[in-house]
Structure 1
Amino acid sequence: MLNALDRYSPHALAALRIVTALIFMEHGTQKLFGFPAVSERGMPALLSLSGVGGIMQFVGGILILFGVLTRPVAFLLSGQMAVAYWMFHAPDSLYPVLNGGDTPILYCFVFLLFVFTGPGAWSVDGLTAGRGTQRLA
């Protein structure tokens, strides 16, 4: 009976991709545009570490949202989140519940999942995969 759910896997993966991208983009819009609210640290300079992170979060989030270049973008964003955890959270404590690092850890591994699974259904990558190449199952 549970095997019957397998046919919905691409759609569930796409839902995870879309929701992850929308929430992830908020971190970028907060850093770049002060929306939905300016962080307690204020707006970072565009070419600072946080500013570049905001650009990656916003642009990478848009690409993940639409499923464009999903695997390479997800690889970069997974790395960004690993760096964010070790640079900004782990120095306070190694325990994510104490250092506020739950979110970057989860993003890191969700993006890493997309590196291996691809975007799922409803993606630009999926639409263009059939053009000139053989799609894998």
Structure 2
Amino acid sequence: MARAQALIAYAPIPLRLGLGLILLVHGAQKIFVLGPGQVAGYFANLGLEPSGLLAWVAIAVEFGGGVCLLLGLLTRLVGLLFAIEMAVAIWKYHAPQGFYVSQNSYGYEFAMLLIAGCLALILAGPGRFAVDRPVGIEK
């Protein structure tokens, strides 16, 4: 039992690293492949205004937040911000396409899973090997 309790501190690490990588890659895509202008145009088509500002917010949350999660820095804050971003994505884009992700649609099941992961990090914190601890953000 004591060993299982000791391992609990390591449980958030795979989730934090997995979410961090997903955020980082999607943020990099918005910066280097699509470009902020195309992201802003996409947001405008969804009715998200001011689209230019929101494009940069999404880029910061995804790219910057991805780096932060990989380091274990500001883990709970990044989890909250990305959960909000995914909730907006479900509301404005995914929900009308249904639950399932398939070849023909981008339903909300994956976005919902990302929100669940974010909520787990908000509740559990970054786990061991996180910058949050030595800088005093987490105890």
Shared fold per TM-score greater than 0.5: yes
Matches of 1:105 and 1:4, distance apart in 2: 32
Correspondence for 2:96: 91
Q: CA RMSD in A?
A: 2.7
Correspondence for 2:47: none
Matches of 1:122 and 1:43, distance apart in 2: 37
Question: Per-residue CA shift, 1:78-123, capped at 9, x if unaligned?
Answer: 1111111121100222x23464322211111111111111111111
Correspondence for 1:68: 73
Aligned 8 A contact 2:68 2:74 in 1: yes
- 2:124 matched to 1:129? no
Of all paired residues, the percent bearing the same amino acid is: 34
Correspondence for 1:14: 13
In structure 2, give the amino acid aligned to 1:65: L
Aligned 8 A contact 1:70 1:114 in 2: yes
Correspondence for 2:29: 30
> What is the TM-score normalised by the length of structure 1?
0.75
Correspondence for 1:108: 115
